[in-house]
Structure 1
Amino acid sequence: MDCLNSIHMTRYKHTGFKDEDSLSCGTVQLTEGISTSATHIRYHTRGSLWRTRTSLEKVLLIILACLLVITLLLTCLLTSSKNNYKIQISNINQQTIQGHQTNHGQLTGADQQYCFTAPCIHASSDILKGLDQSVDPCENFYEYACNGWVKENPIPEGKPMWGTFAKLEQHNQLIVKNALAKVEEDLKSKAEKKAKIYYESCMDSEDVIEKLGAEPMINLLTKLGGWNLTHSGFNLSKWNLQKSLQEVQNRYNMGGLFNWEVGEDDRNSSRHIIQIDQGGLTLPTRDYYLNITGHAKILDAYEEYMVKVASLLDPTITDINGTIRPQVKEIIQFETRLAAIFSPAEQRRDEERMYHNMSLADLDEKAPFISWTDYFSDAFKQVGKKITSKEIVVVYAPEYLQNLTVIIREYNGTKKGQIALSNYVMWQTVKSLTPSLSREFRDAYKPLRKVLIGSDGGEETWRYCVQETSNVLGFAVAAMFVRLNNASKPKPLAEKIISEVREAFKENLKHLDWMDAETRKAAMEKADGISDMIGYPDYILKPKQLDEKYAGLAVRRDEYFSNNIRVNQFNLKKNLEKLNQPVNKSEWGMTPHTVNAYYTPTKNQIVFPAGILQRPFFDINNPTSLNLGAMGVIMGHELTHAFDDEGREYDTKGNLNRWWKNATIERFKQKTACFRKQYDKYEINNKHVNGIQTLGENMADNGGLRAAYHAYLKWEAEQLQKNATNGNSIVETMLPLPGLNLTHRQLFFVSFAQVWCSVVTEEATNLLIEKDSHTPAKYRVIGSLSNFKEFSEQFGCKPNTYMNPESKCEVW
């Protein structure tokens, strides 16, 4: 899944497979519209006030009026001089606008040519608040578009970042909170009632959760065979890795050593298959382990966090330095060994090279640190499926598993090594579930969080619990959100915009001289074959169908820790049941109230949840320039993912398939090399953006901008043609916005840029540069616009200015 925005910092969470509820990668805020009408000034003919004035009053009023006129003239002259780089509205637009009136609050006459509807005034106000007109847009368009927003939006206490996504997410959380506060009788389904109960179990921190303290975790550790850092029954003579992994991973859905799931087969996307990949690190990136000099504070904080959690679990262990800390250091050392054999993200962008299908018998031979046949046989027997050594699986990191075998053999060769292995496996369970314990456990994570992302948290409990409820019963929560937020209203216009952006993208395909005719034809077919899902799946508003989705999940009040255990087990079984079942191509991978969007290559599908179809991204009453600049570019972004360096490897049906001609592939790689070099040069906090790691997202940003802008130009031309045909009948959404000396073409680019206005802590920025597939927001704007000559034309940017470099990168 390629998401629009994956900036999403959370505490350690319980793991879950990629079913509909577990995939989300974005953030969210809603700006309310204003409903006041335009004000008209009228001159009264009865009882003239002028006649009642004294001579002195008349003289003073005349002088005051003259001063007012002079002031206005000087202001206009200064504004004109200051903004001489701005292009005025074209003559054809001026002629269309002059001398007309509408029934939506516009003033009439040649001097009154602006849109004064409530949506226009609201949009203009929002844009003005974000702008910094002291900055030349040709020198730094991000600062021009966003400095005002940044000044007015400091990062809230406890957060590592703040932006348009986060603000909208907070608003959506409030809607969900209000929905969850309803009495059960007002809820429409059993699933929604489960969501309410889960939320209340999370909020019950002052009672049951605090009283229980460490007890739920100690009980679980005892069931799992104990953790040597606590008095929970660990016995090395009874321990072995195979048994421990099967118990922890196949019963409780925890992580460790590797990741696996049942997912869509890349080479045959109509079926499900077992997929295995590298995994098992606690810290967000391998570099945190390997670059000790640069990340010593993080490793120290990680060590202290683990020591604190262990001591909270068992206060009877008083000799922390002598008993706990050495074992903690061994766990970190083992994870460091894992990090050393991890493949970096930039080396994992070629899906064809990563795909290796083999039988479990072959895997048993290549990576025999466990019996893979026995492991998966144990997992699937709980859903009545028989697994043999002939079962075909897909391995994305065979070298990692082979190297892991060497490390495991080394550790299994000594008593000390076996204890370290057992401690590591159990730590994967402990750190996943500590957020479900009392506040002192959650507080223990704050120092590590602080060094990782520059914030120690501190959000209100209800927000945390709303997010957790959305993670667990996301589509039940979405049903409430959809009903309260009238989420079906934007769908028709959203569908229309997607169609227009798709057509613009296809039109551009015709002009690509680096693509051969046969590949171009296939690309056209793939673009036509991209399905789109908007708003929410219909079934969530049908109680019986929604209840079926969560049938078998037991949720009880006063059992927050146990609820999360049951959620893990429920998600595991739901995933296991998919093996050998046909793929549901209409299944959602993101909850509808999420503020994000995504493309799925195996489904060849783009999805735009209701959560993002709101201001400031989208409004059915907005001028078309703003909708296409914000939401249109987002739609083009996701569509372009179908043709980025990874998405292009999948054909129209979503199968990994070499459908491009070799010569076209080589020319494509030459084109993408330009992007790699361009983004490699961008620097924040003395750290360079990784042009390879961010390549797919950068291509999507650039391609989405081009497609959406050309879609806007086509819409504009059609409206002007209609004007001419209808005798210059005014088009409301083409009237300029009040208070802004900007054409709608310029507003398109401002709307695009202001989507990415954000503030991020230094620590979070460093983490994103190292781990995220997206370029930091500032350079998502600058990089895309500086490659787009139409932007420079509209703002009159001279050649070789920062925003109009001579060398430009273009693929789609």
Structure 2
Amino acid sequence: MRFNHFANNVTASHADFPVDDSQLNQDLYAAVNGKWEEQATIPGDHSSTGGFMDLVDGIEKTLMHDFADLLDGNLKPDNAEMGEFKKFYAMSRDFTKRDADGATPLKPFLTKIENLKSFADLNAQLADWYRAGLPAPIQIGIDPDMKDTSKYALYVDAPSLILPDKTYYAKDNPAAKQLLPVYTQMATKLLTMVGYDQDAAAKMVEQTKQFDALIAPHVKSSEEAADYVKMYNPRPLATVDAATDKLDLTAALKDLIHDAPESVILPQPTYFDAVGDLLTEANFPLVKSWMLVKTVIAASGVLSEDFRQVGGTYGRALSGQKEARSQAKSAYRLATTYFDQVVGDYYGRRYFGETAKADVREMVLKMAGVYQNRLKNNDWLSAETRRKAIVKLQKLTIKVGYPDKIDPLYAKFTVDTDASLFANTQRFDELAIADNFSHWGQPVDRKRWDMSANTVNAYYSPSNNEIVFPAAILQAPFYSLKQTSSQNYGGIGAVMAHEISHAFDNNGAQFDEFGNLNNWWTDADLAHFKDLSKAMIAEFDGIPFAGQKVNGKLTVSENIADAGGLSCALEAAKSADVINLREFFVNWAQIWRMKSTTEYMQLLLSIDVHAPNRLRANVQVKNLDDFYSTFNVQPGDGMYLAPEKRVKIW
């Protein structure tokens, strides 16, 4: 449950463009961002520009400068993990060696797949297959048990699809007709680059698409997956294992975690209802090709420049990105992705610090206090549910800036400078997989962060009942000492309250103060909350955008969080010594500044749980009475919504 999705970057600052005051009552987003949008251009290696991406781009520029000093010896590593990052970053940048290695480092893995003659061959090495992170028709992983988050559970899931969402496979979806040929061309080219002849490559890609098409009817759409609670479908391991006679999951688990749990969790149970019909000897050639093609595509980004360019073709078509990132930027992205928490520790300590961490924590506590008062004064919850909601809020864990220490996993990431880049990334992947499996039987580590400190985002974790604000988002336009309190509340205040609101959105509200899936509502309160949620669905559902329409069910949780966050931040802004609600609403609209390719906007409409940025800016403010008085919004104005249609939940 994150505050936002991200594309790439932006080229101009927020403060350089005037607000059109005459249009604030007609289209808030356009009045605030219209002048910027007129001159904004999307860089060729990006699918969007603006808003959050200003910060992403600025951090990238800062860290690339710092890491150039690191490579030159002008900046000394602060710790052993940073020393290994330095080696890996240098290796990522060495395209001369990457080009010389070509596809050679990948060949042993392709041979491993090629040597499979049947499911029996795959089953004989299934545990090692999982350890290596190779594609498999059944996915497994360890995560906290949603009904008892003090311990870990085993999740057994379906593989991902080629197209972005199940809905793309509908006969009347034109996007598939455009995207699948791009995928086909890319995958076929990559296979010829690793040594297969054209006919063999074409056949394997066709078989890959055939197996993918068999999977598609049995997995969830993004809308279905957005109902987080419905991920929890426990089944006996014996029942899941009996669904197919081709793979012995129990034996593999005994090898991997030295245990065979009585039950496992199926996020997509319908897939396992069908898996016996999918994994047949007749389909084995399809599965084999599917595994091989997925392996080559996954490796393309860490091989030579030719592989990197070709392997990104499909992703660029999905997002409308016209060209690949430069070698320098791609190397930076690769290295900082593998060493994300190490880089985050560096960024947080150098550019944020303990003093700022303490200050921002106080801000979050203040916002939580405002939220608690709103719960106390809530006029539609019963006293019993209201009391439990306040208990949940008081138990909320707050994480700000960066973790106190680097995750011990990264101490194992030692770089072999004599090996290839691919070999090093493969070993890191295997270490991360082994670390995940090692959680089995251990208490849940609630100190772990799911984001690094240099990530421009924030999130709420329902299973931990925690809100997390990485250092990178704690800067202008979200927060700055140079901004007024009203501006800061319209920025970081809304972010903070947004994440708090996730504890009480349609998903988070079903988890208790310990993060366990547990209904703490009275029947009447829950029924009323569901009615309010339906009103939020209706408010967004069907709004035309980018030639398509918004899916209110897909975006409901984030829209509830936006509504609660903005409303709570507004109350906090009004309690300050100096109040300027115009600045509050203008900064709210400003943080959503974004210009995207049509392809990227349409992709997000299909898969993203967030509404489009323009609508996040415009629709939510229509629910707030203070917006109408601040900008004298009257019936007939573009920003007017009749009082009976205004949605107010938190």
Measured after TM superposition, the shift of residue 511 of structure 1 is 3.7
Which residue of structure 1 lines up, in the alignment, with residue 164 of structure 2?
A: 284
Which residue of structure 2 lines up, in the alignment, with residue 139 of structure 1?
A: 26
Measured after TM superposition, the shift of residue 492 of structure 1 is 3.4
Measured after TM superposition, the shift of residue 8 of structure 1 is 4.4
Unaligned runs of 5+ in 1: 10-26, 32-125, 227-233, 381-385, 541-545, 720-733, 735-742
Is it true that 1:481 corresponds to 2:347 in the alignment?
A: yes
Measured after TM superposition, the shift of residue 646 of structure 1 is 0.5
Which residue of structure 1 lines up, in the alignment, with residue 632 of structure 2?
A: 796
Could you list the per-position Cα deviations for residues 500-529 of structure 1 after superposition, in whole angstroms to 9, with x for gaps in the alignment?
222222222234333211011101111111
Is it true that 1:299 corresponds to 2:159 in the alignment?
A: no
Is it true that 1:192 corresponds to 2:63 in the alignment?
A: no
Could you list the per-position Cα deviations for residues 382-430 of structure 1 after superposition, in whole angstroms to 9, with x for gaps in the alignment?
xxxx213x54322222221111221223xx2x3xx32111111222222
Q: SS where residue 539 of structure 1 aligns?
A: coil
Tell me the distance in 2 between the aligned counterparts of 1:527 and 1:251. Answer: 39
Which residue of structure 2 lines up, in the alignment, with residue 75 of structure 1?
A: none
Query: Contact conserved, 1:640 with 1:704, CA < 8 A, in 2?
Result: yes
Classify 1:598/1:673 alpha carbon distance in 2 versus 1 (closer, same or farther; 3 Å): same
Q: 1:704 aligns with which of 565, 571, 574?
A: 565
Could you list the per-position Cα deviations for residues 114-162 of structure 1 after superposition, in whole angstroms to 9, with x for gaps in the alignment?
xxxxxxxxxxxx44x3444175111110101111222343111221011
Could you list the per-position Cα deviations for residues 362-389 of structure 1 after superposition, in whole angstroms to 9, with x for gaps in the alignment?
3223455522201212323xxxxx213x
Query: Contact conserved, 1:30 with 1:614, CA < 8 A, in 2?
Result: no
Tell me the distance in 1 between the aligned counterparts of 2:569 and 2:10. Answer: 22
Amino acid at match of 1:285: D
Q: SS where residue 556 of structure 1 aligns?
A: coil
Tell me the distance in 1 between the aligned counterparts of 2:453 and 2:231. Answer: 31
* Counterparts of residues 23-42 of structure 1 (less than 5 Å): none
Classify 1:524/1:627 alpha carbon distance in 2 versus 1 (closer, same or farther; 3 Å): same
Query: Contact conserved, 1:160 with 1:453, CA < 8 A, in 2?
Result: yes
Tell me the distance in 1 between the aligned counterparts of 2:75 and 2:29. Answer: 49
Amino acid at match of 1:769: L
Classify 1:446/1:235 alpha carbon distance in 2 versus 1 (closer, same or farther; 3 Å): closer
Q: 1:594 aligns with which of 455, 473, 479?
A: 455
Amino acid at match of 1:340: P
Which residue of structure 1 lines up, in the alignment, with residue 236 of structure 2?
A: 359
Which deviates more, 777-786 or 323-332?
Answer: 323-332
Query: Contact conserved, 2:205 with 2:293, CA < 8 A, in 1?
Result: no
Q: SS where residue 490 of structure 1 aligns?
A: helix
Q: 1:203 aligns with which of 76, 87, 93?
A: 93
Q: 2:400 aligns with which of 534, 542, 558?
A: 534
Q: 1:434 aligns with which of 294, 300, 324?
A: 300
Which deviates more, 517-526 or 236-245?
Answer: 236-245
Tell me the distance in 2 between the aligned counterparts of 1:784 and 1:352. Answer: 25
Classify 1:562/1:492 alpha carbon distance in 2 versus 1 (closer, same or farther; 3 Å): same
Tell me the distance in 2 between the aligned counterparts of 1:744 and 1:674. Answer: 30
Which residue of structure 2 lines up, in the alignment, with residue 408 of structure 1?
A: 279
Query: Contact conserved, 1:138 with 1:801, CA < 8 A, in 2?
Result: yes
* Counterparts of residues 746-785 of structure 1 (less than 5 Å): 746-785=582-621
* Counterparts of residues 733-752 of structure 1 (less than 5 Å): 734=578, 744-752=580-588
Classify 1:369/1:664 alpha carbon distance in 2 versus 1 (closer, same or farther; 3 Å): farther
Tell me the distance in 1 between the aligned counterparts of 2:127 and 2:163. Answer: 23
Which residue of structure 1 lines up, in the alignment, with residue 248 of structure 2?
A: 371
* Counterparts of residues 556-575 of structure 1 (less than 5 Å): 556-557=416-417, 559-575=420-436
Q: 1:618 aligns with which of 461, 479, 484?
A: 479
Measured after TM superposition, the shift of residue 784 of structure 1 is 0.7
Classify 1:488/1:163 alpha carbon distance in 2 versus 1 (closer, same or farther; 3 Å): farther
Could you list the per-position Cα deviations for residues 319-373 of structure 1 after superposition, in whole angstroms to 9, with x for gaps in the alignment?
x2x4322331121121011111112232234444432223322322345552220
Amino acid at match of 1:220: F
Measured after TM superposition, the shift of residue 171 of structure 1 is 1.5
Classify 1:585/1:446 alpha carbon distance in 2 versus 1 (closer, same or farther; 3 Å): closer
Tell me the distance in 2 between the aligned counterparts of 1:306 and 1:259. Answer: 22
Tell me the distance in 2 between the aligned counterparts of 1:187 and 1:236. Answer: 49
Query: Contact conserved, 1:606 with 1:638, CA < 8 A, in 2?
Result: yes
Q: SS where residue 265 of structure 2 aligns?
A: strand
Amino acid at match of 1:202: S
Q: 1:261 aligns with which of 141, 165, 182?
A: 141
Amino acid at match of 1:311: T
Could you list the per-position Cα deviations for residues 551-600 of structure 1 after superposition, in whole angstroms to 9, with x for gaps in the alignment?
33231336211111011101001111111111122221110111000000
Tell me the distance in 1 between the aligned counterparts of 2:139 and 2:356. Answer: 38
Query: Contact conserved, 1:290 with 1:336, CA < 8 A, in 2?
Result: no
* Counterparts of residues 191-590 of structure 1 (less than 5 Å): 191-205=81-95, 207-222=96-111, 224-226=112-114, 234=115, 236=117, 240-243=121-124, 245-248=126-129, 250-291=130-171, 293-295=173-175, 296-314=177-195, 317=197, 320=198, 322-380=199-257, 386-388=258-260, 390-409=261-280, 412=281, 414=282, 417-540=283-406, 548-557=408-417, 559-590=420-451
Report which structure shows greater RCO (CA 8 Å, sep ≥6). 1
Tell me the distance in 2 between the aligned counterparts of 1:180 and 1:158. Answer: 22
Tell me the distance in 2 between the aligned counterparts of 1:446 and 1:358. Answer: 38
Query: Contact conserved, 2:409 with 2:435, CA < 8 A, in 1?
Result: no
Q: 2:51 aligns with which of 164, 172, 180?
A: 164
Query: Contact conserved, 2:243 with 2:275, CA < 8 A, in 1?
Result: no
Q: 1:638 aligns with which of 480, 499, 510?
A: 499
Classify 1:760/1:29 alpha carbon distance in 2 versus 1 (closer, same or farther; 3 Å): closer
Is it true that 1:808 corresponds to 2:623 in the alignment?
A: no
Classify 1:378/1:130 alpha carbon distance in 2 versus 1 (closer, same or farther; 3 Å): farther
Could you list the per-position Cα deviations for residues 739-786 of structure 1 after superposition, in whole angstroms to 9, with x for gaps in the alignment?
xxxx72110011111001010100001100000111110001111111
Aligned residues: 643
Query: Contact conserved, 1:531 with 1:606, CA < 8 A, in 2?
Result: yes
Tell me the distance in 2 between the aligned counterparts of 1:521 and 1:198. Answer: 51
Classify 1:238/1:595 alpha carbon distance in 2 versus 1 (closer, same or farther; 3 Å): closer
Classify 1:645/1:167 alpha carbon distance in 2 versus 1 (closer, same or farther; 3 Å): same
Measured after TM superposition, the shift of residue 469 of structure 1 is 1.8
Tell me the distance in 2 between the aligned counterparts of 1:28 and 1:560. Answer: 30
Q: 1:666 aligns with which of 516, 519, 527?
A: 527
Classify 1:589/1:393 alpha carbon distance in 2 versus 1 (closer, same or farther; 3 Å): same
Q: SS where residue 411 of structure 2 aligns?
A: coil
Measured after TM superposition, the shift of residue 460 of structure 1 is 2.4
Measured after TM superposition, the shift of residue 235 of structure 1 is 5.5
Query: Contact conserved, 1:769 with 1:775, CA < 8 A, in 2?
Result: yes
* Counterparts of residues 3-42 of structure 1 (less than 5 Å): 3-8=2-7
Query: Contact conserved, 1:29 with 1:164, CA < 8 A, in 2?
Result: no
Amino acid at match of 1:702: A
Classify 1:160/1:654 alpha carbon distance in 2 versus 1 (closer, same or farther; 3 Å): same
Classify 1:469/1:150 alpha carbon distance in 2 versus 1 (closer, same or farther; 3 Å): same
Could you list the per-position Cα deviations for residues 625-680 of structure 1 after superposition, in whole angstroms to 9, with x for gaps in the alignment?
11111000000111100000000010011110011111111111111111111111
Query: Contact conserved, 1:469 with 1:477, CA < 8 A, in 2?
Result: no
Measured after TM superposition, the shift of residue 476 of structure 1 is 1.5
Query: Contact conserved, 2:623 with 2:647, CA < 8 A, in 1?
Result: yes
Q: SS where residue 643 of structure 1 aligns?
A: coil
Could you list the per-position Cα deviations for residues 438-492 of structure 1 after superposition, in whole angstroms to 9, with x for gaps in the alignment?
1111221344234211114332222222222221111221232234324434323
Query: What root-mean-square deviation, in Å, do the aligned CA atoms of Structure 1 and Structure 2 show?
Result: 2.2
Q: SS where residue 46 of structure 2 aligns?
A: coil
Classify 1:341/1:387 alpha carbon distance in 2 versus 1 (closer, same or farther; 3 Å): same
